[in-house]
Amino acid sequence: MSCLDRQTVLIGLDGASFTILDHLMEEGTMSFLKKLISLGCRGELTSVIPPLTPPAWISLITGVRPGTHGVFNFLQFESPKSRYIKWLSFRDIQRETIWSIVNRHGMRAGSLNFIGMNPPPAIRGYIIPGFVSWRWLRKNSYPEDLFDRLRGIDGFDVKEMALNFREEEKAVKGCQREEYEDWIWLHIRRERQWFEVVRYLMKHDPCHLTAMIFDGLDRIQHVCWRFLDPAYALKPHAAWEEKVRRLCLQYFRNLDEFLEQIVDLAGAQANIFIASDHGFGPTREILYLNQWLCQQGYLKWKDSTAIGTKSVAGQSEDIESLGVESPYRSLLHLDWKKTKAYAATASSNGIIIQVAGKRGEEGIPAKEYFSFREELIDKLRNSCLDPQSGEPLIKEIWTREEAFAGNFIDCAPDLTLSLRDSGFISIYPSEVYCRPRSQIMGTHRPEGVFAAVGPAIRKGEVIPPTSIINVAPTLLHTLGIPIPSDMEGQVITQIFDPAFLRTHPVETGAPTVPPERNQDASPQREDVEGQEQIMLRLKSLGYV
């Protein structure tokens, strides 16, 4: 037996939803994906709370919930006692990843385009992180000579492969009709770059576990949801809109071809998994949560004339609709002495309660925390209402104990909200706390996708919804690795052929080990320009 007789491939499709994929498979745009899924199992993959990229992907590759691995957002509080917000990095991941677990069992692992993988740990295999600007992608990849090898790929261009934050900001800002085509082509080219890297490494540097993410789905659905909605085709549209839709479909055709070639490269003996961090759906309204908190007396702006309604009203509706705002700029304008609760970022849909002595001397007395929180929950349920219909704007509210139980709960939001239309909040001040969006946008949903096919997998099965934390132990099981005893997820046994389970029963092994830290790396390998570009990227999609 060769050292690679057991191979598992994980293909991450960021933001993939069966709402869209089923329609594309049926109409022939993704014919290979349809055939592939028919040969294995499929089911809904339930994301974390809230269904957000960083905590979701980190949950998928650690097999534990955010309260255990410590990642809640793109931006993290430095500590439970600090008001300082820092960028997500590998140092924030407090649990061992599947790459390390696979290595400890004598196997190689490859990780491509996963967020939070910088600075990269030293592994047997390779890592190219996601969400890093092109200037720093090489320095944040492992091993150090990896990019020298990738230069052998015909047409390889690190500038096209990495996120071009400024270009994405320009493409989204205002959402003018002439910008859609460039926006979509940008992601068509990016996905091809990542595919060429995947293909090269699978040929020349094979791993027992190869994992990659194609993230253009998330970008395109945020901006172009209405062109992809199956209901769109039933209505008449202008010629330019039809052209945009055709280009969106071209992106998915290309992706389908990439999937086919990756599966072919893996070979008939490999087990193939497809998973998304969350699903997608439409959002039609904006809740200005900080403005509502202000009107209820929980938040106070320092100078309403400097950042108030006039400046907001003068900006593009489409910028507002994406929730664009810098958390640093927003928080600078809070009057901390008179603020008891606030939302720091749009992406978390979370509320931070100011408790005296926790992140400063300002805030409510610690002994009043639980009574204050219950009062705020009651107000959110009964007073945060549609100004026109009187219907609740908030669908669900989780306390931090409910959403983020674990060792790192003190760094999590005190309350997390699910809005009526599942959209992200805005942290802007505004004349009104709720208004319709100027156009339908795409937003995250908790219902992601899961599919598996291979010699160990049942054929033609539809499984019940399963949690995203169950993916990691399932991948490990296909490689014959015992499941760490402290992994919260469980092997998805329903997907496996009974004969495989008889000869390969699920085994429980030793607990995980602390994540390996790159002590030689500087605390932050992104330069100032890189930080600014990351902020532009987050702003462009309404995450801050």
pLDDT tens, residue by residue, 478-519 = 999 999 999 999 999 999 999 999 999 999 999 999 987 644
Taking Cα atoms as reference points, which of 222, 217, 219, 205 lies closest to residue 275? Answer: 217
Q: What Cα–Cα distance (Å) separates residue 223 from each residue in 168, 253, 331? A: 11, 19, 27
| 431 or 526, greater pLDDT | 431
Whether the pLDDT of residue 170 is over 60: the answer is no
> Token pair of 143, please?
């091993």
Whether the pLDDT of residue 146 is over 60: the answer is yes
The predicted pLDDT at position 539 comes to 54
d(CA 454, CA 475): 12
The predicted pLDDT at position 530 comes to 53
pLDDT tens readout for residues 341-385: 999 888 899 999 999 988 878 899 999 999 999 999 999 999 999
| 519 or 256, greater pLDDT | 256
The predicted pLDDT at position 306 comes to 45
The predicted pLDDT at position 330 comes to 62
Mean per-residue pLDDT, 23-44? 97
Does residue 454 contact residue 271 with C-beta atoms inside 8 Å? yes
The predicted pLDDT at position 362 comes to 86
**DSSP letters for 407-440:** TTGGGS-SEEEEETT----B-S--SSSEEEEEEE
The predicted pLDDT at position 516 comes to 73
d(CA 361, CA 456): 58
Give the relative orientation of helices 528-540 and 165-172 as an angle to the nearest 10 degrees: 30
Please state which of the ranges 132-141, 259-268, 304-313 shows the lowest mean pLDDT: 304-313
> Token pair of 471, please?
């993916």
H/E run at residue 211? strand 209-214
Interstrand relation of 41-46 and 461-462 (parallel, antiparallel or unpaired): parallel
Domains of the chain, each with CATH number or no CATH: 8-278+446-540 (3.40.720.10), 283-441 (3.30.1360)
The burial of 458, by beta-carbon neighbours within 10 Å (0-12 exposed, 13-18 middle, 19 or more buried), is given as middle
The predicted pLDDT at position 349 comes to 95
Residue the block writes with tokens 């910088």: 118
- Output the average pLDDT for the chain: 88
Confidence of residue 439 (pLDDT cuts 50, 70, 90): confident
Residue the block writes with tokens 């999590």: 412
SS3 60: helix
Mean per-residue pLDDT, 416-442? 92
Does residue 99 contact residue 125 with C-beta atoms inside 8 Å? yes
Mean per-residue pLDDT, 96-109? 97
Does residue 200 contact residue 146 with C-beta atoms inside 8 Å? no
Q: Phi/psi at 301 (nearest 5 deg)?
A: -80, 145
Residue the block writes with tokens 């071009």: 164
Give the count of beta carbons closer than 10 Å to the beta carbon of residue 279: 26
Q: Hey, which residues does 419 pair with through a beta bridge? A: 394
Confidence of residue 438 (pLDDT cuts 50, 70, 90): confident
Taking Cα atoms as reference points, which of 285, 394, 294, 389 lies closest to residue 349? Answer: 394
Mean per-residue pLDDT, 215-238? 87
d(CA 42, CA 37): 7
| 521 or 122, greater pLDDT | 122
pLDDT tens readout for residues 186-225: 999 999 999 999 999 999 999 999 999 999 999 899 989 9
Mean per-residue pLDDT, 328-337? 74
The DSSP secondary-structure symbol of 509 reads E
The predicted pLDDT at position 231 comes to 84
The predicted pLDDT at position 66 comes to 97
Q: Phi/psi at 282 (nearest 5 deg)?
A: -85, 150
pTM over 0.85: yes
SS3 260: helix
Mean per-residue pLDDT, 271-290? 96
